[in-house]
Structure 1
């Protein structure tokens, strides 16, 4: 499991560093237009989202390790192609291939985490696996970006080195196989019906934070805040998040994930609503210290409850494919969120964006309370 997580960290460092930091800054030197860079990034993430379910199924049949190695080699090939022989057609095709083969990684990690976790700590184990990639993503933005501006060759060297490490880790895992119970059996409709019940909520829960993806700096300017104003509240969020994830995660593991998920969704809706009411620039600064613990507690409870609910709902047969299906829908929520956030900003400003986010969380809570009652007996 540690090698799988190390592979995930190395891969996400390279992917974030390349897609977010290196390509936008190196477009001129690579003789690639801004539009082509956008196409290259969009195709990669689209293939990743659409491929998660099918690649999860393929990994169960032919082995996860082979797909992990194929994905690592595809990423290495794309880096070498971009650095030594950049071409529009090759870049787009290579990016699409890497996205498709990369799609097996996340479902494989989550399926392995669920298989290897102690049953009494399932929700917490899945949550930790889900969040373990955060340092790699931050490094891809905050480390690779400045390095690319100062020393481009060093940034490319860092990405190539990290991808070689990813390829070596994948090679060491080439024979790994996590077989779900009775993988040769034909999936029952009743099992996949439970997965289908999760999909609207999976979409909505990623849609809400996705609203803010492209509006972060405009929101800071509108609210009269600077990055340094967020440091203290961010530490409070991190501390309360860790406390909530561990303590409320125990509740989700021992009893029912819904007991954690419901309060988490309500707290997140409350936070979004309070920000929507804080349309006065000078009023937001002091309120950050009130909102920070609420956000940390709510997000920790939500993550623990959601992962516990998914773990109890997914069928034991074709588990990796089921994980891939859920995560593909989550990816689509992140993809649509920025579009709706931009529209809400244009129509109703800052308040409109956060009222929309609060409504999404509340509707998701109602969905769990009513249409998904059939799962309540076991979740």
Structure 2
């Protein structure tokens, strides 16, 4: 008896190009997460010859400079992709990133490290808009949410691998780590050669004046920007506090790991079904259900339940995320006009990054003033507000995708 596997959510012939873009993005994220999230904070005293506290402050400033530059440049990077095609822009960006990272072994002054991080971000900024736009264009009709989520989920393990591996190699690794970083970044540059110059050709249509096209794009983009901010703000406010909150909820390290595994398994296991809901013209419904489940889970955790209940609540939150990820991908892909999608996607990602930067600050503020329940309570309120916004302003989102 043959087992029939589900079809890939990509149109025939587009898989290699999408895979190349995903590999380039995964390599770049491996480098970024490991370098700024784990390596520099440990190695900066030796690299810069400074006392530990001063060196860590410089490393944190370099991370902020990288993140801010990436945030500000995603919109312009998307516009360049729309004009020159993905391959040219990604080749230039990946080469610039490689050149910046090649300076790492010779960096011994704080401002040099900060400048290197900013130049690295200039090259990095085009990767996410290019990968998402290429995937959306390559997706089979009615499969955009699942295709975009598949690419994002394939990249995520490399983010964790970079953080863990470079963090483990950081003590005494001032020679090995730069070589590893350059090797992985070079692999990403080679992968870009497989990215198509431009996405699939659009169907022939009557010429439209540029000003009118920009007005249409702006109207489609307007409701997505506050939604993008609320989503990343909600989903990132617990991140830096995770170890602290886990202890205060009665979880040890391995208990927290098991809780995360339960949540991840619930998300990955249910995503084929939740993605189908999102891609059948019900992206908003998927988002409303997803954020309602996340709000329910966070609100219940704010009541500090017994430890055994936390694992069930992690599964509820994971199921909520399984609705949110493909729902958001399908909504963005179906709302943005196809001709202006690269630049518009860059603008959406700029706002997403702003929410990612603000989330930890909001979480820390809530923890300081409300204690352990604070971040969960604020997260629950934000999640339910986001779900309510998708319900109240449902007519603001124009969906091009048709049910299948």
TM-score, with length taken from structure 2: 0.87
Distance in 1 separating the partners of 2:273 and 2:223: 27
Distance in 2 separating the partners of 1:319 and 1:53: 11
Q: Name the structure 1 match of 2:156.
A: 134
Where do 5+ consecutive residues of structure 1 fail to align?
none
Distance in 2 separating the partners of 1:81 and 1:47: 18
**Range that drifts further, 237-246 or 264-273:** 237-246
> Contact 1:194–1:313 (CA<8 Å) still a contact in 2?
yes
Is residue 12 from structure 1 mapped to residue 29 from structure 2 by the alignment?
Answer: yes
Q: Provide closer, same or farther for how the CA distance between residues 85 and 277 of structure 1 changes in structure 2, counting only shifts above 3 A.
A: closer
Is residue 109 from structure 1 mapped to residue 131 from structure 2 by the alignment?
Answer: yes
Tell me how far 1:377 sits from its aligned partner. 6.8
Q: Provide closer, same or farther for how the CA distance between residues 191 and 156 of structure 1 changes in structure 2, counting only shifts above 3 A.
A: closer
Tell me how far 1:150 sits from its aligned partner. 5.6
Partner of 1:46: helix, strand, or coil? helix
Q: Name the structure 2 match of 1:79.
A: 101
Q: CA RMSD in A?
A: 2.1
**What is the 5 A alignment of 1:67-216?**
67-149=89-171, 151-173=173-195, 176-178=197-199, 181=202, 186=210, 187-216=213-242
> Contact 2:366–2:374 (CA<8 Å) still a contact in 1?
yes
Tell me how far 1:312 sits from its aligned partner. 0.8
Where do 5+ consecutive residues of structure 2 fail to align?
1-17
Q: Name the structure 2 match of 1:266.
A: 292
Tell me how far 1:184 sits from its aligned partner. 8.7
Q: Name the structure 2 match of 1:250.
A: 276
Q: Name the structure 1 match of 2:46.
A: 29
**Range that drifts further, 7-16 or 155-164:** 155-164
Distance in 1 separating the partners of 2:56 and 2:24: 30
> Contact 2:246–2:256 (CA<8 Å) still a contact in 1?
no
Q: Provide closer, same or farther for how the CA distance between residues 73 and 321 of structure 1 changes in structure 2, counting only shifts above 3 A.
A: same
**Range that drifts further, 249-258 or 18-27:** 249-258
Partner of 1:27: helix, strand, or coil? helix
Distance in 1 separating the partners of 2:234 and 2:148: 21
Partner of 2:240: helix, strand, or coil? coil
Is residue 2 from structure 1 mapped to residue 19 from structure 2 by the alignment?
Answer: yes
Q: Provide closer, same or farther for how the CA distance between residues 231 and 372 of structure 1 changes in structure 2, counting only shifts above 3 A.
A: same
Partner of 1:161: helix, strand, or coil? helix
Tell me how far 1:167 sits from its aligned partner. 2.1
Tell me how far 1:285 sits from its aligned partner. 1.6
Distance in 2 separating the partners of 1:41 and 1:180: 38
Partner of 1:225: helix, strand, or coil? coil
Distance in 2 separating the partners of 1:355 and 1:378: 36
Could you report, residue by residue, the CA deviation over 1:200-226 in whole angstroms, capped at 9, with x for unpaired residues?
111011101221122112112211211
Could you report, residue by residue, the CA deviation over 1:306-331 in whole angstroms, capped at 9, with x for unpaired residues?
11111110111211111111111111
Distance in 2 separating the partners of 1:84 and 1:152: 11
Is residue 50 from structure 1 mapped to residue 72 from structure 2 by the alignment?
Answer: yes
Is residue 370 from structure 1 mapped to residue 370 from structure 2 by the alignment?
Answer: no
Partner of 2:337: helix, strand, or coil? coil
> Contact 1:267–1:298 (CA<8 Å) still a contact in 2?
yes
The number of equivalent residue pairs is 374
Is residue 316 from structure 1 mapped to residue 333 from structure 2 by the alignment?
Answer: no
Tell me how far 1:15 sits from its aligned partner. 0.9
Q: Name the structure 2 match of 1:353.
A: 375
Tell me how far 1:270 sits from its aligned partner. 0.3
Tell me how far 1:66 sits from its aligned partner. 2.1
Q: Provide closer, same or farther for how the CA distance between residues 26 and 180 of structure 1 changes in structure 2, counting only shifts above 3 A.
A: farther
Tell me how far 1:374 sits from its aligned partner. 3.1
Distance in 2 separating the partners of 1:243 and 1:172: 31
Q: Provide closer, same or farther for how the CA distance between residues 185 and 170 of structure 1 changes in structure 2, counting only shifts above 3 A.
A: farther
> Contact 2:301–2:310 (CA<8 Å) still a contact in 1?
no
Distance in 1 separating the partners of 2:67 and 2:393: 31
Q: Name the structure 1 match of 2:5.
A: none
Q: Name the structure 2 match of 1:305.
A: 327
**Range that drifts further, 82-91 or 305-314:** 82-91
Could you report, residue by residue, the CA deviation over 1:103-128 in whole angstroms, capped at 9, with x for unpaired residues?
11100000000000101211111111
Distance in 2 separating the partners of 1:331 and 1:196: 17
Could you report, residue by residue, the CA deviation over 1:69-122 in whole angstroms, capped at 9, with x for unpaired residues?
222222222222121343333332232122122111100000000000101211
Distance in 2 separating the partners of 1:255 and 1:184: 27
